[in-house]
């Protein structure tokens, strides 16, 4: 099995499937599909945050043994909620006349989710370390917060990986890819569009 950061890098660098002739150069279609994908993803993130905040607050009073795990989930998801709401608001406005060319917009989006995926692996590792520290010190609070960090990091890793795949599929359908080339700077995929 590939390490998570290698798998994410492979997804990002994988050459997309060639687009059909009728979709080549479909700038407006790419922008609509990109926007729909972003809105769907931010909707999932916002929903996840709302459910975790509500469940975390409620369960912290009902499940005293795992109180700190539930508190940690509620705290972590307050940040997810802000990110999700800002993402929904940003993508709700139709930006079909954006400044970036579609291929540039796609690369920026892929880079963002790739960096987030790497950070998610760090969150899981930090959560595991925090759990170990909590066990060593006999602190339920530290252990519970560590469990919440690891749990949320795992969810975010799955979310960011799904968003990478979804955006790669949008690009494969809407952008015309030229064959991958190996040059002085290494491997790359070049997207071209008739503008």
Question: How confident is the model at residue 104, as a pLDDT?
Answer: 86
Question: How confident is the model at residue 27, as a pLDDT?
Answer: 80
88 to 35, 54, 171, 176, 195: CA distances (angstroms)? 10, 20, 21, 28, 28
Torsion region of 186: left, alpha or beta (phi above 0 gives left; psi -120 to 50 gives alpha):
left
Residue-wise pLDDT tens digits, 122-156 = 999 999 999 999 999 999 999 999 999 999 999 99
Question: How confident is the model at residue 75, as a pLDDT?
Answer: 94
Question: How confident is the model at residue 99, as a pLDDT?
Answer: 61
Other beta carbons less than 10 A from residue 69's beta carbon: 23
- The token pair at 21 is 């002739």
Paired sense of beta strands 181-183 and 186-188, if any: antiparallel
Residue indicated by tokens 């790739």: 114
User: Distance from CA of residue 32 to its chain's centroid?
Assistant: 19
Please identify every stretch of the chain with a pLDDT value under 70, giving residue numbers as ranges: 1-25, 94-100, 176-195
Other beta carbons less than 10 A from residue 79's beta carbon: 11
Question: How confident is the model at residue 98, as a pLDDT?
Answer: 56
User: Helix, strand, or coil here: 191?
Assistant: strand
Q: Is 184 exposed, middle or buried (0-12, 13-18, 19+ CB in 10 A)?
A: exposed
Q: Are 106 and 34 in contact (CB under 8 A)?
A: yes
Question: How confident is the model at residue 172, as a pLDDT?
Answer: 85
- The token pair at 87 is 């993402």
**Angle CA(59)–CA(62)–CA(67) in degrees, nearest 5?**
60
Predicted TM-score (pTM) of this structure: 0.73
- The token pair at 2 is 């590939």
Question: How confident is the model at residue 100, as a pLDDT?
Answer: 66
- The token pair at 85 is 């709401």
């Amino acid at each position: 099995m590939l390490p998570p950061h290698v798998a994410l890098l492979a997804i990002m660098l994988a050459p997309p499937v060639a687009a059909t002739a009728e979709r080549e150069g479909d700038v407006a279609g790419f922008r609509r599909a990109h926007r729909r994908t972003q809105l769907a993803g931010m909707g999932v993130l916002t929903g996840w945050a709302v459910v975790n905040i509500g469940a975390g607050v409620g369960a912290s009073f009902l499940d005293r043994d795992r109180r700190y795990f539930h508190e940690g989930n509620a705290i972590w998801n307050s940040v997810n909620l802000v990110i999700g709401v800002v993402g929904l608001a940003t993508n709700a406005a139709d930006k079909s006349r954006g400044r970036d060319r579609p291929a540039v917009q796609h690369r920026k989006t892929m880079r963002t989710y790739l960096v987030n995926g790497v950070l998610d692996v760090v969150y899981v590792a930090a959560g595991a370390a925090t759990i170990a520290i909590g066990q060593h010190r006999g602190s339920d609070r530290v252990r519970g917060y560590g469990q919440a960090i690891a749990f949320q990091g795992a969810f975010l890793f799955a979310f960011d990986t799904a968003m990478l795949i979804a955006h790669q599929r949008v690009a494969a359908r809407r952008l015309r890819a030229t064959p991958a080339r190996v040059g002085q700077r290494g491997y790359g995929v070049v997207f071209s569009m008739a503008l």
